[in-house]
Structure 1
Amino acid sequence: DISIAIQCLETVFKISSEDTHLAVSQPLTEMFTNSFCKNDILPLSNSVPEDVGKADQLKDEGNNHMKEENYAAAVDCYTQAIELDPNNAVYYCNRAAAQSKLSHYTDAIKDCEKAIAIDSKYSKAYGRMGLALTAMNKFEEAVTSYQKALDLDPENDSYKSNLKIAEQKLREVSSPTGTGLSFDMASLINNPAFISMAASLMQNPQVQQLMSGMMTNAIGGPAAGVGGLTDLSSLIQAGQQFAQQIQQQNPELIEQLRNHIRSRSFSSSTEEHS
């Protein structure tokens, strides 16, 4: 009988129903309900089986859009799936991948955080957050994210590779002389298009004159010192002039080189979506 239980509690703790100063502002059930209502990361789901099934179909449609590189359509499908089943971490993680493809990195990170809030052991969410953080040049945070992904999935080669890249980028930006840009010189020098372009450029009288001046300055000729290559501003200007010549000779190669550098910024190998 509940009245007996109340009497026991009153006897043990020396309290009674007249001690109103001990009362809380709201019942326990109301506190519980309000705590869910205020949580904007994990909405209280009232999904019915029909909604869950439809959400899974929408997720599959989104995955197909990803394969076809229709990233905006994929985002729309995943968003609809989330509305039907808001506590499914996969939908947020998949939408994060689509958002990254659209360069919406901030949105991608938010989706990864929501996926992790639902499933703290979801390695793929940490991995995809690492990619978005790397793209935003937040290398220290990216390293932390990849490390967490590897803790959960130690054999994942993609996480290992991307972690190394993020660590290298972090060292570059942390170094006093780091530029944040790393060229793969071996790959560049062995590029037949680059070799052909360089040979063509060397036949250009203006380039020959420019290179002659640079060599004279480099060995301490008359122009060395103030105004020479030991002058940082002159060195930068010489580099800009040389880049302009390359742009005029072979603009397609410049774009190829840019894409090559971008592609090495982080490895986002093709992955299956859940």
Structure 2
Amino acid sequence: MSEKQQRLVYSIIEFLNQSIEDGAVKADDQESLEVAIQCIGEAFNVDPSNQEQADRLSVKPATLQNIFDVFMKTRAKVAPSASTSTGASSSKPKDASEDEKAQAEKHKATGNSQMSAKKFDDAIQSYNQAVTLDPSNPVYYSNRAAAHSSKGDHLAAVGDAEKAISVDPKFVKAYHRLGHAQYSLGDFEAAASAFERGLKLDSTNAGLKSGLQNAQARIDHVGGASSPPETTTPAQRAVPGAAGSGLGGMADMFRGMGGGAGGMPDLASMMNNPQMMAMAQQLAANGGLANLMQNPAVANMMSRVQSGDMPSMAELMSDPTLREMASQFGATGAP
């Protein structure tokens, strides 16, 4: 038994004895209270009649009553401001100054450049600095989610995408990031839910529509199972719609990518071109398409596309692997 506990018990017994003496307790209850005081003292080895214990355990001139009164008065003064402060901080991140916002934008720009250079860990650090300076901007969390997905850390991407949504529930791109990460984890139902939530905000978003179609197709195919089928490679599992090494999988992969942005060709139209389909069939026949889908550069490109980060043609052609892929499909004029 610690002395601190005994001091508390001594103060309680002292308070109860004082209540009996003051008549605060009815006469009919006094005997019962006295028995209770005796039991409490014995349980904690405290004897108020022992002078040595009284000198050691007493908190006089303070009493339990006035200690409690001070606590209640202090709490009454502190509690309102504390609750107000807590409520404000939990509902809204701190407001960044104009200088902090400018510095955060510089870190974001650096992170974007590092993403283009495939320096994903460096990009994450840059986005970390942006978030620290301005935690109220959902773009920084969303971009960091894309960086996590690009390096295969889809769980971290889910966390950042959800954080972006909590900061700004109307930030549509975050729902695409979330759906892509959930899809890559094999949780197709969660992915479909994320895409649907985004479409409620932007019903015309092609990326969200494509993501939802792919997720629903996988739910229908595997009966809602939460793991990718064994026939897909890790690279294919990282890209919604890229499952399978046949032409259907390749067409699904290109479908919904659109065209024209950043110098990109209309890939969906390309897949409807008979000559292009003949080339693709030849590539599939000799096993080249399966190998292509296992290429990390291709998987990364498609992951970025599905995340809404459309690479430019110049960026694609700077990658030897992707340049070779383009040449196989008859693309010319690479810088």
Which residue number corresponds to residue 130 of structure 1?
A: 179
Q: Deviations over 1:127-185 (max 9, x none)?
A: 11000000000000000000111111111111111110010111112179x98355364
Q: Which runs of 4+ in 1 moved over 6 A?
A: 260-267
Q: Distance in 1 between matches of 2:157 and 2:245?
A: 29
Determine if contact 1:55/1:85 at 8 Å carries over to the other structure.
Answer: yes
Which residue number corresponds to residue 117 of structure 2?
A: 68
* Paired AA for residue 132 in structure 2: E
Structure 1's 57 and 29: CA in aligned 2 closer, same or farther, altered over 3 A? same
Q: Distance in 2 between matches of 1:74 and 1:168?
A: 33
* Paired AA for residue 281 in structure 2: N
Which residue number corresponds to residue 45 of structure 1?
A: 94
**Mapping for residues 7-18 of structure 1, pairs under 5 Å:** none
Which residue number corresponds to residue 135 of structure 2?
A: 86
Q: Distance in 1 between matches of 2:308 and 2:160?
A: 20
Pairing partner for 2:244 from 176, 183, 206: 183
Q: Distance in 1 between matches of 2:121 and 2:180?
A: 19
* TM-score relative to the length of structure 1: 0.60
**Mapping for residues 240-259 of structure 1, pairs under 5 Å:** 254-256=290-292, 258=294
Q: Distance in 2 between matches of 1:265 and 1:94?
A: 13
Determine if contact 2:283/2:289 at 8 Å carries over to the other structure.
Answer: yes
Deviation of 1:49 after TM superposition, in Å, equals 2.3
Identity of matched residues, %: 27
Select the structure with the greater relative contact order (CA < 8 A; seq sep ≥ 6): 1
Q: Distance in 2 between matches of 1:119 and 1:175?
A: 30
Deviation of 1:35 after TM superposition, in Å, equals 3.5
Q: Distance in 1 between matches of 2:304 and 2:187?
A: 12
* TM-score relative to the length of structure 2: 0.50
Determine if contact 2:180/2:307 at 8 Å carries over to the other structure.
Answer: no
Cα RMSD, aligned residues only: 3.6
Which residue number corresponds to residue 282 of structure 2?
A: 192
Number of paired residues?
195
Deviation of 1:24 after TM superposition, in Å, equals 5.5
Which shows bigger deviation, 59-68 or 145-154? 59-68
SS at match of 1:27: helix
Q: Distance in 1 between matches of 2:135 and 2:174?
A: 16
* Paired AA for residue 124 in structure 1: K
Instruction: Specify every segment of 5 or more residues in structure 2 that has no aligned partner in the other structure, as ranges.
Output: 1-71, 232-242, 251-277, 312-335
Instruction: Specify every segment of 5 or more residues in structure 1 that has no aligned partner in the other structure, as ranges.
Output: 1-19, 198-249
Structure number with bigger Rg: 2
Q: Distance in 1 between matches of 2:164 and 2:307?
A: 21
Pairing partner for 1:120 from 158, 161, 169: 169
* Paired AA for residue 149 in structure 2: S
* Paired AA for residue 162 in structure 1: G
Q: Deviations over 1:244-273 (max 9, x none)?
A: xxxxxx7x6653354599798996165269
Which shows bigger deviation, 95-104 or 180-189? 180-189
Determine if contact 1:71/1:99 at 8 Å carries over to the other structure.
Answer: yes
**Mapping for residues 139-178 of structure 1, pairs under 5 Å:** 139-174=188-223
SS at match of 1:86: coil
